[in-house]
Structure 1
């Protein structure tokens, strides 16, 4: 079994109800985070093989907010994207799922 390393970690800001970021949709915030993660890892969007995004409260965000965020971030349409909806643990669960996917590649 090979070791898996996190080479970039980015998260959305934490805001308050009706606060400064309340006008941004979840997928808009997600695309900002994905762009920054790709930039920090010094990779190109076309080098990304899969996007797994943690998110809570997806109601009213349309189908697959992770997909919307990845495409808006410049990740090619050919790259699969999925979301994890788990209260408080969605981001951590997304990382665990990514590690499992890489190890089983």
Structure 2
């Protein structure tokens, strides 16, 4: 799911998306589920983009209220969130959430003919992570 530009050229691969930026943050462990919020905010600040510039957002569902709290805090348009359902609908395989989120985001952006997406997750212990991809 990930290759360097050199490998793409060397092996004649056709990428689905390009990784533009990422952000990793720490939050108080007592509110670990909110980690995607500052991670996404940092990502947007670093790239000069606004949430309105983003077509789809995938936020891991550690549990339903956690994802809803993140969406509310961000002011996220619900129609952009977890386009085909999140971990509650699809499963939450240990160690595979990042790959699942990224793959679903890449394929859904392409399927819909959209440009940019953010994938994000809270991480136990008080972390949040986010990445920004763009279709190529």
User: Where does residue 4 of structure 1 map in the other structure?
Assistant: 17
Q: In structure 2, the residue corresponding to 1:86 is in which secondary structure?
A: coil
Question: Which sections of structure 2, spanning at least 5 residues, go unmatched?
Answer: 1-13, 113-136
**Runs of at least 4 residues off by over 4 Å:** none
Larger proportion of strand: 2
In structure 1, which of residues 81, 95, 98 is the aligned counterpart of residue 105 of structure 2?
A: 98
**2-structure distance, mates of 1:66, 1:88:** 19
Q: Write out per-residue CA displacement over residues 68-92 of structure 1, whole angstroms, 9 at most, x where no aligned residue.
A: 3133123334433353322111112
Relative contact order, CA 8 A, sep 6+: which one is greater? 2
- Counterparts of 1:38-57 in structure 2 under 5 Å? 38-54=44-60
Larger radius of gyration: 2
TM-score scaled by length of structure 1:
0.66
User: Where does residue 119 of structure 2 map in the other structure?
Assistant: none
RMSD of aligned alpha carbons: 2.6
